[in-house]
Structure 1
């Protein structure tokens, strides 16, 4: 019995770290810029044929802005984009 627990503990430690660090991208999640500016909530998630998110749409300053999913990472409360507020104004 204790071998089963040891095996389970060993398997849990061997899980890939990248899967744990991947951001969970879903609708109604708050997005902020790296410098702390609140962008807004995700309205729509665009995905590729495999179902992986490619971009998200957010209403930012009264217009839809499409933010690449590759720029998103986990934050304290929601997601953080590597884009700055100035970058978002150009989109």
Structure 2
């Protein structure tokens, strides 16, 4: 049993090391970034304001996220997925709070 646990631990560490070596411009890195664009993920603005959690993801014809729908101050706002970047446990939009207020 010890060997099985040790083997699993080594495998998980080696997989994480390989994932860390993927260049940011590769298709795998892009897929990883779009993988976090899903409902219930928190979105913040570039200046640190809290927008809210993703209510719905709208995909384009190819199946990639085009925009996200968030309930912001009692109304639905659509934020382009191209403005979102992953940051720890949240997504950060390049929009400021003033920009989100205009949507």
TM-score for both structures, normalised by structure 1:
0.79
The number of residues matched between the two structures is 82
TM-score for both structures, normalised by structure 2:
0.70
The answer to whether residue 90 in structure 2 is matched with residue 81 in structure 1 is: no
Structure richer in strand, relative to its length = 1
C-alpha RMSD of the superposition: 2.2
TM superposition shift of 1:17: 2.7
| Runs of 5+ unmatched residues, structure 2 | 1-17
Matched residue SS, 1:28: coil
Structure richer in helix, relative to its length = 2
TM superposition shift of 1:75: 1.3
Matched residue SS, 2:47: coil
| Runs of 5+ unmatched residues, structure 1 | 1-11
Name the structure, 1 or 2, with higher relative contact order (CA <8 Å, separation 6+): 1
Who is 1:17 aligned against?
24
Structure 1: 4+ residue segments shifted above 6 A: none
Cα distance in 2, alignment partners of residues 15 and 37 from structure 1: 30
